[in-house]
Amino acid sequence: MSELLERRYRSVLRLLPEDYRRERESEMVAAFLEAAGDVSSADNPRPGWGEVGSVLALALRLRLGGQDSTPRAFARGEAVRLVALLGLGFQAALSVVTAAGGVAEPLFFLAAAEACCWVVAFLALVRGHLPTAKGAAVLALLPVTGTVAFHASDSAQPASQTASWLVLTVVPVIALLLAYHRDVLPVTRPWWQAVLPLTVAVFAASLALLPRDPTWSWSYPWTDPIGLGVLALVAGVAAGAIRRPAAPWRLALGMVAALLMAVRLLDMADMYGDLLVTGSVQVVLLAVLATGLTITGRRALPEPV
């Protein structure tokens, strides 16, 4: 038996939640070393990628639990699943408005393809068709990549805006792929819960298309996609203050606030004057919301079993 291999495997097992590791670590190490057979530390042995991947997948399922897991892990999983749902809805509404709003010719087909993918992904997720939702969301990244490549070659589009948009696009897809794992049973929500928020969001997002008055330049950051996201978040928190949402909603809105803050910070690299002042106000507001929602959300989590 190699002590080095054992040490390395134990460090991989640190990916698992502490309470699970306390219960299972000795047993897993014994099984792993039996499977590894006779190896010498002189050979510099390491756990294979397959073993590391299996522990990573287990850690993910334990931390972002499905319906059969502990109430605490389930609540954490629900929070990330809500981030995926809100993110897909946001992308669906914005992409519809972008495609309908008269995008220039080379980008029109990309914008239309992207809008179709996001809308299908969002509707499928709300209706509980997980493979369709995942497939459409991943597919949406293809036209996004094309649009990003186009903007990267366009010197008029600041790189920071492209980067912040990319983050805002990729994160919901990652949340979808990670949190809707095979231990999660699909939940079918009624059609109105898919169509109504999407319709409202499309109307709200179409504000971005209104002609801009140069004397109101300070307001521009409120009508770009990130600004609209901030307004939607504030509306969600205001509604939540009345209904006192459960831990998953608070944590999800806290994560959305942190994400919007990160992308606004990226975006501010190219802001100046009034725009910079408004951007800074948004960042402070988002920081307060992210902190408050995360703290109250963590306090509201069910106790560990």
Which residues lie near other proteins (CB under 8 A)?
A: 24, 26-35, 50-51, 53-58, 61, 68, 182-183
Cβ nearer to other proteins, comparing 182 with 243: 182
Alpha-carbon distance of 266 to 275, in angstroms, equals 14
Least separation in angstroms between residue 134's CB and other proteins is: 17
Alpha-carbon distance of 237 to 232, in angstroms, equals 9
Least separation in angstroms between residue 58's CB and other proteins is: 4
Cβ nearer to other proteins, comparing 31 with 284: 31
Q: Identify whether the C-beta of residue 84 lies closer than 8 Å to the C-beta of residue 41.
A: no
Cβ nearer to other proteins, comparing 182 with 299: 182
Alpha-carbon distance of 278 to 34, in angstroms, equals 61
Cβ nearer to other proteins, comparing 22 with 244: 22
The burial class, CB within 10 Å (0-12 / 13-18 / 19+), for 138 is: middle
Cβ nearer to other proteins, comparing 34 with 303: 34
Least separation in angstroms between residue 246's CB and other proteins is: 23
Least separation in angstroms between residue 91's CB and other proteins is: 30
Least separation in angstroms between residue 70's CB and other proteins is: 10
Nearest to 78 by CA among 291, 197, 86: 86
Provide the H-helix boundaries in the chain. 3-13, 18-36, 49-63, 71-100, 105-127, 130-152, 159-179, 192-205, 220-223, 225-243, 247-267, 273-300
CA distances from 183 to 57, 82, 144, 145, 234 (A): 11, 16, 30, 31, 32
Cβ nearer to other proteins, comparing 28 with 85: 28
Give the count of beta carbons closer than 10 Å to the beta carbon of residue 270. Answer: 15
Least separation in angstroms between residue 28's CB and other proteins is: 6
